[in-house]
Amino acid sequence: MKILSKGIRLPLAALSGLLAGLAALAVAELVSAAVRPEAGPVIAVGGAAIDRTPPALKDWAIRHFGTHDKLVLQLGILAVLALLALVLGVLALRFRRVGAAGVLLFGVVGAMAAVTRPDSTSTVDALPSVVGSLAGAGLLYVLIGRLSVRTGSPSETYGATGPDGRTATGTENWDRRGFVIAASAAAAASAGAGLLGRSLKNTRGQGAIASRSRVSLPRPASAARPVPPGAVLHTPDISPFVTPNGDFYRVDTALVVPKVDASSWRMKIHGQGVRRPLTLTFQDLLNRRLIERDITLTCVSNEVGGPYVGNARWIGVPLADLLKEAGVRPPSRGGPADQLVARSVDGMTIGSPVEDIMDGRDAMLALGMNGEPLPFVHGFPVRMVVPGLYGYVSACKWLQSLELTTFAAYDSYWVKRSWARKAPIKTESRIDTPKPFARPKPGTVMIAGVAWAQHRGIDRVEVRVDDGPWTQADLAVEDTTDTWRQWSLPWKATSGAHTLTVRATDRTGQAQTEQRTPTIPSGADGWHSVVITVD
C-alpha cells in the first residue's frame, strides 16, 4: 500500500491542522458562551480589525457589502485561519512542537484582541482563546503523532503492515487506525462543543429579549402630528414615507448585536458643568414626559443615491430637559462643555455639539421606533436621535452613558478615524424610480424619489433629462422639516438612452451641489443621476 504509506501523510497533516483549528474555534465558542459572547476570538479579532480599518476601506466595504460587510469580514477571518491551519499542519509533520506552538500563538493573538476591546472589563475575556488554542495545539500534537509512528513500532499498528501482509518499507510509517479514530473523535467533539456553545449563547440573550417584550410604551405627552395626507405619494417603487423597522438601514461596528436587559439598564449623565449628575433607569425614562416625532436618519457613509437613509416615528425623552435637570448650560449660556459624548455598551463613542442638542430641536433619548420598543439592532433599550446630524455624530445605539466635555479635549470614535468633528446632514435628493438601467416603454414614465435636508427643510426638487432644462418636480406635502420629502415628475419618455438627474434646494437656499465630494470627512455631495434606456 504505497499510496497509503507516504504520499498521503502530507494531506493528512494538512487535515490535522484544519481539525486542530476547528477544535480550537469550537472550544473557544463554548468557553465564550460561558464568559462573554463578544470575547470569542473571531469576534474579538474582527472587532479589532474593524477599529483598525482605514476609513477609505471601511467606506468601500460598506458600499460593496452593505450590511453584509460584517459577514464578509468574519468569513474572511475564517478563510485566513483555515489557510494558516493547513500550513501549520504540514509544518507540524516536520516539526511537531513548532506546529503546536503555532496554534498557541493564534490563541495569544485572540486573547490580546479580546482583552483590549473597549467593552472588555476583565482579563477573563482571554479565556476562550487560551483554552481553545490549548485544545487545538494538543489535538494537532496527537494527530501528527499518529502520522509519525516510526518503522519498527509495535506491529499492532495497522499501518505497519499492509493489507497484503507485507511489511511496509520506508523510513517512516503511520498509525492509520489511531489517526482515523482520533480525527473522527476530535471532529465529533468539536461539532458538539460548537453547537453547545451556540445554544448557550442563544439562552444568554433571553433576559434581554424578555425585558423587551415586557415594555409597553406609554402614550407620549406630546404626540407627533399625524402625517399630512399629501405627504405620502403613491407612485410605485418610491421609498415609503415611513421606513418599516425591518427595512431600516443598519450601520454599526457591532459583530454581536448587544442584548441589553432593560430591567438592569442604568445610564449616567456626568462630566464638565454637570451640577447634578444623574443616574437613570429605563423605568425612570418611561415615567418622564415623552415626545413622539418623525425624524429621518442618515449615515455619513451614504453615497449620492445610496440606501443609508430612513424615516421613522420615534418616541423618547427630550434630551435638553434631562441636561437642564442635570444643571448643564449650553456654551451660548456660558456652559463649559461644548461636546456631549455618548458611550454605548459595546464601547462606541459618539460626540454631538451641546449647542445643537439644547437649541430647541427634538433631540431625544429614543425608546420607541414606529410604535414598538427599539429593535435590538437599532439600539434597544435606549438610543440617541438628533434631527439634522449624521448618525455618527448623534445617534448612539445601546446607550450606556452621557459625558459632557469639550471638542478640544476629546475625539470620539469616528473623529479619531478622520471623519469631521461636526457633521450636519447635507441637502440631498435621490431618484428611486426608474432604477438604473431600467428599460421603460415610451410614453409617460414617473420619475420619483426622496429628498432630505433635515432641520432645514426641502423647498424645491428639480429634474433634468439629459442636458435639457431643469424642471420642477411635484413635492409631496412636508411632514416636518426633520423628515424627508417624496417627489415625483411625470415625463414623456422618448426612445433611446437617457440620463435623468435630480437636485434639491433647501429652505436656506442651499442647493445640492453638482460637484461630487466623497463621503469622508463630512458626507457625500453631488447630483444623483440614473441612466436608462427607453425602448
Ligand X SMILES: Nc1nc2c(c(=O)[nH]1)N[C@H]1C(S)=C(S)[C@@H](COP(=O)(O)O)O[C@H]1N2
C-alpha cell at 165: 501482509
Please tell me what DSSP assigns to residue 2: H
> By CB under 5 A, is residue 136 in contact with Mo ion?
no
Question: Comparing C-alpha atoms, which of 457, 425, 447, 419 is closest to residue 528?
Answer: 447
**Residue pair 473/462 in contact by the 8 Å Cβ criterion:** yes
From the list 106-114, 179-187, 199-207, 394-402, the region that binds ligand X by CB under 6 A is 394-402
From the list 189-197, 219-227, 296-304, 330-338, the region that binds Mo ion by CB under 5 A is 296-304
Between residue 153 and residue 192, which ones bind ligand X under the rule CB under 6 A?
none
Please state, in angstroms and as integers, the Cα–Cα distance from residue 248 to each residue in 120, 199, 239, 251, following that order: 29, 28, 11, 10
* Cα gap 35→122, rounded to integer Å: 10
C-alpha cell at 351: 460626540
Residue type, 186: A
- The least CB distance from residue 301 to ligand X, in Å, is 7
In this complex, which beta carbon is closest to ligand X, that of residue 280 or of residue 385? 385
Between residue 368 and residue 387, which ones bind ligand X under the rule CB under 6 A?
378
Question: Comparing C-alpha atoms, which of 402, 399, 295 is closest to residue 352?
Answer: 402
> By CB under 6 A, is residue 58 in contact with ligand X?
no
* Cα gap 423→412, rounded to integer Å: 13
Among 396, 447, 458, 534, binds ligand X (CB under 6 A): 396
- The two beta strands, 266-271 and 399-405, are parallel
In this complex, which beta carbon is closest to ligand X, that of residue 148 or of residue 483? 483
In this complex, which beta carbon is closest to ligand X, that of residue 292 or of residue 459? 292
Between residue 259 and residue 298, which ones bind ligand X under the rule CB under 6 A?
297
Residue 370 contact partner, candidates Mo ion, ligand X, none, CB within 5 to 8 A by sort of partner: none
Among 106, 241, 249, 314, binds ligand X (CB under 6 A): 249
* Cα gap 152→159, rounded to integer Å: 11
From the list 160-168, 247-255, 397-405, 436-444, the region that binds Mo ion by CB under 5 A is 247-255
Among 133, 190, 253, 486, binds ligand X (CB under 6 A): 253
Strands (E) across 354-442 are located at 364-369, 372-373, 383-385, 399-405, 428-433
From the list 118-126, 248-256, 315-323, 468-476, the region that binds Mo ion by CB under 5 A is 248-256
Among 85, 100, 103, 251, binds ligand X (CB under 6 A): 251
In this complex, which beta carbon is closest to ligand X, that of residue 174 or of residue 414? 414
From the list 25-33, 109-117, 344-352, 492-500, the region that binds ligand X by CB under 6 A is 344-352
Residue 485 contact partner, candidates Mo ion, ligand X, none, CB within 5 to 8 A by sort of partner: none
> By CB under 6 A, is residue 299 in contact with ligand X?
yes
Continuous H helices in 117-175: 127-147
Residues linked to residue 511 through DSSP beta bridges, in sequence order: 505
* Cα gap 389→298, rounded to integer Å: 8
Residue 346 contact partner, candidates Mo ion, ligand X, none, CB within 5 to 8 A by sort of partner: ligand X
Residue 534 contact partner, candidates ligand X, Mo ion, none, CB within 5 to 8 A by sort of partner: none
Among 106, 179, 376, 392, binds ligand X (CB under 6 A): 392
Between residue 384 and residue 413, which ones bind Mo ion under the rule CB under 5 A?
391-392
**Residue pair 128/35 in contact by the 8 Å Cβ criterion:** yes
Hey, how many other C-beta atoms are within 10 angstroms of the C-beta on 47? Answer: 25
- The least CB distance from residue 39 to ligand X, in Å, is 18
> By CB under 5 A, is residue 299 in contact with Mo ion?
yes
From the list 218-226, 276-284, 395-403, 471-479, the region that binds ligand X by CB under 6 A is 395-403
From the list 34-42, 81-89, 244-252, 432-440, the region that binds ligand X by CB under 6 A is 244-252
Residue with the CB atom nearest ligand X in the bound state: 391
> By CB under 6 A, is residue 391 in contact with ligand X?
yes
Please state, in angstroms and as integers, the Cα–Cα distance from residue 263 to each residue in 132, 282, 396, following that order: 33, 7, 20
* Cα gap 100→501, rounded to integer Å: 61
Residue 252 contact partner, candidates ligand X, Mo ion, none, CB within 5 to 8 A by sort of partner: ligand X
Estimate the share of the chain in helix, then strand, then coil, as percent rounded to the nearest 5.
40, 25, 35
Please state, in angstroms and as integers, the Cα–Cα distance from residue 500 to each residue in 37, 236, 324, 382, 475, following that order: 48, 18, 49, 41, 17
Question: Comparing C-alpha atoms, which of 449, 457, 450, 440 is closest to residue 508?
Answer: 457
In this complex, which beta carbon is closest to ligand X, that of residue 250 or of residue 329? 250
**Is residue 521 reached through a cis peptide bond, with omega within 30 degrees of 0 on the bond before it?**
yes
Between residue 155 and residue 174, which ones bind Mo ion under the rule CB under 5 A?
none
User: Count of residues binding Mo ion (CB under 5 A)?
Assistant: 4
For 263, counting Cβ atoms within 10 Å of its Cβ (0-12 exposed, 13-18 middle, 19+ buried), the class is: middle
Residue 248 contact partner, candidates Mo ion, ligand X, none, CB within 5 to 8 A by sort of partner: ligand X
Continuous H helices in 349-466: 354-357, 413-416
From the list 123-131, 156-164, 245-253, 494-502, the region that binds ligand X by CB under 6 A is 245-253
Q: Which residues bind ligand X (CB under 6 A)?
A: 248-254, 297, 299, 344, 346, 348, 378, 391-392, 395-398
